[in-house]
Structure 1
């Protein structure tokens, strides 16, 4: 009996820990209208393989019905870039993103906190990695990483070449005289000298 209860508890905990949560946008993490914006979720704990991304607003004068931004979104992506066309909504508050079943939009798996869409030209929040700033940051990081990698590779290659050249020039050419030192002790001095001259 105790064993069954323990298994049931573990199964229950597994269900509780397997959940889908939207991490961005949020109350402090707004979008900018007609601009690139980021939607992010907890893909590692999600029990769903895919879902539909919907945008809603309780104020029907702003958005009269849920709007499908992406029909089928794979969970393993962990985030999605909302394009300028998809975020071409009027500026306002009370927006909510919902992740729902691809078959039944009313079966909502997760929804964001209510957030604001600010007017075109507004600044992105500093608490998020907005697509606009992220792209620049990533590009700069990628460029510096590439430059650093190229410099490192070049330096390593130069270093290896220099090291190889130094090793080659530092290594003495093996001559008969040098080989004479490896002649077995049992040979006489004259035989050793003769051998070294022959080898030379």
Structure 2
């Protein structure tokens, strides 16, 4: 009887946490929308798809020679901002491929809420993608400025998908709750 009630409790908890994340996703950068090294870039997420209030932004790379572990570059982001201009001082990574952005629990950065698609950081002076053109470049998005500025209200790439599911957060929460219930 106790085991059945625990399973019911866990299933309910997973559903609640899964609903808190909805279809939460990072929409920029993505596989079709890169960043430019040594420049301002834009981080966007679909803020209306989650009830999370705040999170930490981390940058990671699948190649441990580039980044050994995810590195936090913004400690606390308010979800209601929906986008953030990232300065070259906040995230100044070398040009390369295999990068991802993670939005995580500000108190425990190993509890990742969502991970972006893999994206590329292009060399300094590269053009921004047309959908995320820095301000002052016109509508073509073909900027050759080496220190382009970002338009935080630029449209997000609506084709971006999250490589993380709401269940990953739910399962982490279940593990934490199991520890509390069993103890």
Task: Measure the CA separation in 2 of the matches of 1:137 and 1:21.
Answer: 20
RMSD: 2.7
Q: Does 1:127 align with 2:134?
A: no
Q: Does 1:99 align with 2:117?
A: no
> Taking CA–CA contacts closer than 8 Å with sequence separation of 6 or more, which of the two structures ends up with the larger relative contact order?
2
Conserved 8 A contact 1:56-1:98: yes
Query: Greater helix percent: which structure?
Result: 1
The one-character-per-residue Cα deviations of 1:157-188 (angstroms, maximum 9, x if unpaired) are xxxxxxxxxxxxxxxxxxxxxxxxxxxxxxxx
Shift of 1:19: 3.5
Q: Does 1:111 align with 2:101?
A: no
Shift of 1:132: 6.8
Task: Measure the CA separation in 2 of the matches of 1:84 and 1:63.
Answer: 17
Q: Measured at CA, do residues 17 and 126 of structure 1 come closer, stay the same or move farther in structure 2, by a change above 3 Å?
A: same
Query: Greater strand percent: which structure?
Result: 2
Unmatched segments (≥5 aa) in structure 2: 1-11, 139-147, 152-183
Displacement over 2 Å in runs of 4+:
16-19, 127-138
Q: Does the residue aligned with 2:125 lie in a helix, a strand or coil? A: coil
Q: Name which of 44, 50, 68 aligns with 1:46.
A: 50
Q: Does 1:78 align with 2:78?
A: no
Q: Name which of 25, 31, 34 aligns with 1:27.
A: 31
Shift of 1:69: 1.0
Conserved 8 A contact 2:20-2:50: no
Unmatched segments (≥5 aa) in structure 1: 1-7, 139-200
Shift of 1:130: 3.8
